[in-house]
Amino acid sequence: MTEPISPFKGKTGLQRIMNAAGYSWAGLGAAFKHEDAFRQEVFLLALLVPLAVYLGDSGIERALMIAALLGVLIVELLNSAVEAAVDRVSLERHPLIKRAKDMGSAAVMLSLANVVMVWSLVLIG
């Protein structure tokens, strides 16, 4: 028995890459438009990336500090995606919905704690 084929699949090569890039930009735009936390974290990134470049003594230090900041955005995007999918399924209060949203929030909190830890270790030396 063959699996059903998604109508959204099938592009290959350069066309697939161009489609994927478009979907990625659309996702970033949607997050920026609809997610306050994402906008705040982008603002934080815009402030701290130049500071990381200035304060880092080596390329590795700068890369670690910037990677930690980008990690926050990545986790926030995943958290927002989970929340949007869950809200699409149901807006009712349910323990499993709360658990999913709380876990996403915890992931964002840990990524922010990671920024503090990485920056502290790099700057303290």
Which residue among the candidates 61, 76, 83, 92 is catalytic per the annotation? 76
Alpha carbon distances (Å) from 103 to 25, 78, 100, 122: 26, 11, 5, 28
- Active-site annotation holds for 92: no
All residues at 6 or more sequence positions from 48 whose CB lies less than 8 Å from its CB, including other chains: 65, 69
Q: Which residues are catalytic?
A: 76
